[in-house]
Amino acid sequence: MRKYNEPQSMIPCSECNIGMMHKTRVTYFTWLADELITVPDFPAWICDVCGKREYDLEALNNLALLLNPIPAQTKSPKASKSVQKSEGAKTSAQPPSPE
């Protein structure tokens, strides 16, 4: 008994419904502003019958994150510091306990 450990190394073509799309690697071209970006060894699916080419969605998402990093929104880091300071002042100022 032999099991295939690679899930989705072939998927039926959505274009012609006859061929199978094989996972392969191509050079991906995209424009970033005025610059042409080329990504070698980019995972893509190519149909062996009609030649339809689809880039791997997951890889596209990863590339989008690389090219357009979301700026980290820092919410005033100094605020936590002042809170810590007032908290320390509160603990040090203990009222004298009457006997």
Residues in contact with Zn ion by CB under 5 A are 13, 15-16, 19, 47, 49-50, 52
Pick 44 or 47: Cβ nearer Zn ion: 47
CA distance 18 to 49: 7
End-to-end Cα spacing for the chain: 84
Residue 38, helix vs strand vs coil: strand
What minimum distance in Å lies between the beta carbon of 23 and Zn ion?
A: 14
Q: What is the DSSP string of 6-23?
A: STTSEEE-TTTSSSEEEE
Residue with Cβ nearer Zn ion (42 or 46): 46
Nearer to Zn ion, 19 or 43 (CB): 19
In whole angstroms, how close is the CB of 24 to Zn ion at the nearest point? Answer: 14
